[in-house]
């Protein structure tokens, strides 16, 4: 019987509020992250989902932690990471957040408006600083130079595995029920998964991670 692991999986978008009625976000729906949690459970592992705002129903038997902003997500991951074997960062995390939050609705004027943004923390890099000894899996949603950008994120964020997808491809963008991905690892390999339902892509990724761990263990 193959070994069972605990997965911490992030999913969905983050929202960076400007005032009580406006935020900066992205079109992520969380489908890939939720499919990964479902696939992990179906294969007998345990999974916790840390999810940004989505309309999805969490899979049964998955613990769910709801977050809104990149800052919340970072805190939720760092608080829990040491209880898990594997982190999969499938969430589409905002890289910038408004420098200040205006507690009352901002009223318009005829003048243009300049919004000052500041960087959010890179969560995968923050996890790296904690001494987490498990497996770190990132995602890279790209519009161009897929392999080049994915490999530079793999190295820069010190990941074991990165799952890259070309979001301009029909059926592989935000919100689709299908995906086509290329999986790269720090062992210099590449696996291309052609267009399939996200459920099947997720099952492949979970198997790939488990095999990656198994092939590193001495017999
Ligand atoms: N990520 C993260 N913390 C952030 C931004 C992204 O941990 N503040 C994670 C994502 O969840 C994903 C990986 O890093 O697993 C790559 O995210 P992506 O948005 O593709 O890349 P960025 O590092 O944000 O770089 P860029 O936006 O310039 O492509």
Residue 26 annotated to the active site? yes
For residue 35, what are the contacts with CB-CB under 8 A and spacing of at least 6? 198, 199, 201, 202
Full set of structural domains in the chain with CATH: 6-97+116-216 (3.40.50.10300)
Q: What's the gap in Å between 91 CA and the centre of ligand 1? A: 8
> Is the distance from the beta carbon of residue 120 to the nearest atom of ligand 1 less than 6 Å?
yes
Task: Encode the chain (219 residues) as per-residue pLDDT tens digits.
Answer: 689 999 999 999 999 999 999 999 999 999 999 999 999 999 999 999 999 999 999 999 999 999 999 999 999 999 999 999 999 999 999 999 999 999 999 999 999 999 999 999 999 999 999 999 999 999 999 999 999 999 999 999 999 999 999 988 888 888 889 999 999 999 999 999 999 999 999 999 999 999 999 998 554
CA distance 38 to 61: 9
Q: What's the gap in Å between 165 CA and the centre of ligand 1? A: 13
To test the pocket of ligand 1, the residue of 36, 69, 95, 117 to mutate (highest count of ligand atoms within 8 Å of its CB) is 95
To test the pocket of ligand 1, the residue of 153, 156, 157, 182 to mutate (highest count of ligand atoms within 8 Å of its CB) is 153
Pick the atom of ligand 1 nearest to 141's CA.
Answer: 20
> Is the distance from the beta carbon of residue 138 to the nearest atom of ligand 1 less than 6 Å?
yes
Listed residue (174, 167, 163) closest to 138, CA to CA: 163
To test the pocket of ligand 1, the residue of 93, 126, 139, 181 to mutate (highest count of ligand atoms within 8 Å of its CB) is 93
Listed residue (59, 24, 25, 26) closest to 173, CA to CA: 26
Q: What's the gap in Å between 52 CA and the centre of ligand 1? A: 15
Pick the atom of ligand 1 nearest to 137's CA.
Answer: 15
HSE of 96, CA atoms in CB hemisphere, 13 A: 8
In this prediction the pTM is 0.96
CA distance 41 to 96: 33
> Is the distance from the beta carbon of residue 93 to the nearest atom of ligand 1 less than 6 Å?
yes
> Is the distance from the beta carbon of residue 87 to the nearest atom of ligand 1 less than 6 Å?
no
CA distance 93 to 90: 9
């Amino acid at each position: 019987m193959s070994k069972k692991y605990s997965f911490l999986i992030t999913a969905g978008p983050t929202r960076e509020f400007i005032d009580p009625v406006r935020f900066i976000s992205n079109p992520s729906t969380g489908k890939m992250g939720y499919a990964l949690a479902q696939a992990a459970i179906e294969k007998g592992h345990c999974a916790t989902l840390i999810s940004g705002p989505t309309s999805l129903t969490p899979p049964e038997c998955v613990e769910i932690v709801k977050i809104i902003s990149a800052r919340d997500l970072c805190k939720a991951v760092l608080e829990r990471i040491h209880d898990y074997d594997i982190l999969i960062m499938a969430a589409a995390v905002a890289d910038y957040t408004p420098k200040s939050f205006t507690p009352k609705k901002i009223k318009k004027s005829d003048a243009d408006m300049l919004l000052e943004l500041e960087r959010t923390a890179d969560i995968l890099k923050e996890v790296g600083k904690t001494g987490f000894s498990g497996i770190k899996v990132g995602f890279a949603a790209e519009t161009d130079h897929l392999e080049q950008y994915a490999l530079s994120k793999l190295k820069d964020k010190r990941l074991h595995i990165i799952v890259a997808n070309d979001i301009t491809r029909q059926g592989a963008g935000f919100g689709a029920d299908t995906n086509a991905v290329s999986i790269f690892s720090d062992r210099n390999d590449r696996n291309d998964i052609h267009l399939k339902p996200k459920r099947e892509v997720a099952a492949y990724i979970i198997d790939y991670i488990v095999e990656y761990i198994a092939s590193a263990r001495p017999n």
